């Protein structure tokens, strides 16, 4: 059995091991694969793993030996799910590996926006503290999170993990989601989409990208938010209309944004958010702690073992 990983570098840049896959079959790992290289590299593969290399209909139909697709991520929109189902090729994702890492990134961005640590550290190194007449100084408002309202759009595993951290910090929690159900252990309330925009001091996005959620944070939504509010996105870039967010930040309609994802990754040079006021952007790394990637690797191997044993799990495209 031949196993081909099309883009293994981001999952394992050298600090993890591929041995789990190698024990299951002949394994070939490519750091990166261009679309025009996929057919040649995967022609004889029965198993393909991909992270962000797309597998559209025209590619899938040219891989007659393919029996299983593993996605080295939670999101699986890189695979044409309908075509894979038609070809009876199961697609497995890794749904739980990065929950804590992504939730913690929310607060990394939030602290950057509310305490401006990098800025003040830089000013210290410029001798502003040494030359200051007082024992301390700050030139940005310093904001305490206790008592503020965090609005969470999407209340799955990551949304709930984020809520638990917020709750431990004394924040009030409200949520908007397509599914309203009781969640034990978290003190929060369900609200409407308009209300979460109006009431949130911090709005954080944790919903999937669908036709309904694409562009949900647009000019209309941003105008409803407080001018002191912060927006955090560690989910999917296209949830936000980037032009509208940039205009909102530059006008002071909201106080700031922390983004780990963009609509086009890496961003094009004309992306308006690159020059927007009080907008921090990280390069899609919320998921990428070594601990999370190690869990991802282990679960991906387990997914393949389960498929080979005839008990597939984490399949996203089969009844």
pLDDT digits (tens, 9 = 90+) for 1-52: 999 999 999 999 999 999 999 999 999 999 999 999 999 999 999 999 999 9
The reply to whether 139 and 17 lie within a common domain is no
Residue 242 to residue 251: CA distance in whole angstroms: 14
Active site residue 206: no
| CATH number for the domain that contains residue 213 | 3.40.50.720
pTM (2 d.p.): 0.90
The reply to whether 132 and 197 lie within a common domain is yes
Q: Which of 57, 144, 223, 265 is catalytic?
A: 265
| pLDDT confidence of residue 282 | 98
pLDDT in tens, 259-301: 999 999 999 999 999 999 999 999 999 999 999 999 999 999 9
- DSSP state letter for 274: G
Q: Which of 85, 115, 157, 284 is catalytic?
A: 284
Active site residue 284: yes
8 A C-beta contact, residue 254 and residue 222: yes
Active site residue 247: no
What are the structure tokens assigned to 286, written together? 């919320």
Alpha-carbon torsion (270, 272, 278, 279), positive or negative:
negative
DSSP track, 183-226: -TT---EE--HHHHHHH-SEEEE-----TTTTT-BSHHHHHHS-
The reply to whether 157 and 230 lie within a common domain is yes
For the chain, what's the residue count? 319
Q: Is 167 left (phi over 0), alpha (psi -120 to 50) or beta?
A: alpha
Full residue range of the structural domain in which residue 150 is found: 99-281
Of 212, 216, 213, 234, the C-alpha closest to 224 is 216
The reply to whether 92 and 120 lie within a common domain is no
| pLDDT confidence of residue 184 | 87
Residue 66 to residue 205: CA distance in whole angstroms: 35
Does residue 191 sit within a domain? yes
Q: Mean of the per-residue pLDDT values for the chain?
A: 96
Question: How many domains are contained in the chain?
Answer: 2
The reply to whether 155 and 198 lie within a common domain is yes
Q: Which of 116, 120, 236, 293 is catalytic?
A: 236
Residue 155 to residue 206: CA distance in whole angstroms: 7
Distances in Å between the alpha carbon of 142 and those of 116, 117, 233, 266? 8, 10, 21, 31
What pairs with residue 71 in β-bridges?
50
Does residue 89 sit within a domain? yes
The reply to whether 150 and 181 lie within a common domain is yes
Grouping H, G, I as helix, E, B as strand and the rest as coil, residue 68 is strand
Q: What is the pLDDT averaged over residues 230-242?
A: 97
């Amino acid at each position: 059995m031949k196993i081909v990983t099309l883009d293994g570098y981001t999952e394992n840049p050298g600090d993890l091991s591929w041995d789990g896959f190698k024990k299951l079959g002949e394994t070939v790992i490519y750091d990166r694969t261009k679309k025009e290289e996929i057919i040649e590299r995967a022609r004889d593969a029965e198993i393909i793993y991909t992270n962000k290399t797309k597998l559209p209909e025209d590619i899938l139909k040219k891989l007659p030996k393919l029996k299983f697709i593993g996605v080295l991520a939670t999101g699986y929109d890189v695979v044409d799910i309908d075509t894979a189902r038609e070809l009876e090729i199961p697609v497995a994702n890794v749904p739980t590996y990065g929950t804590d890492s992504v939730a913690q990134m929310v607060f990394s961005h939030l602290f950057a926006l509310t305490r401006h640590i990098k800025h003040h550290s830089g000013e210290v190194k410029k001798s502003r503290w040494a030359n200051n007449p007082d024992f301390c100084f700050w030139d940005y408002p310093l904001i305490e999170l206790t008592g503020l309202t965090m609005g969470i759009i999407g209340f799955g595993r990551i949304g709930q993990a984020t809520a638990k951290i917020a709750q431990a910090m004394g924040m009030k929690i409200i949520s908007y989601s397509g599914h309203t159900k009781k969640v034990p252990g978290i003190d929060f309330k369900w609200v409407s989409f308009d209300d979460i925009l109006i009431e949130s001091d911090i709005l954080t996005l944790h919903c999937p990208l669908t036709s309904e959620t694409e562009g949900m944070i647009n000019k209309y939504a941003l105008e409803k938010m407080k001018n002191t509010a912060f927006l955090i996105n560690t989910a999917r870039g296209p949830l936000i209309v980037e032009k509208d967010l940039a205009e909102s930040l530059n006008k002071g309609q909201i106080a700031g944004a922390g983004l780990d994802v963009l609509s086009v990754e890496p961003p094009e040079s004309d992306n308006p958010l690159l020059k927007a006021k009080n907008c921090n952007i990280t390069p899609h790394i919320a998921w990428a702690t070594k601990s999370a990637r190690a869990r991802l690797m282990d679960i991906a191997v387990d997914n393949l073992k389960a498929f080979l044993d005839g008990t597939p799990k984490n399949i996203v495209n089969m009844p």
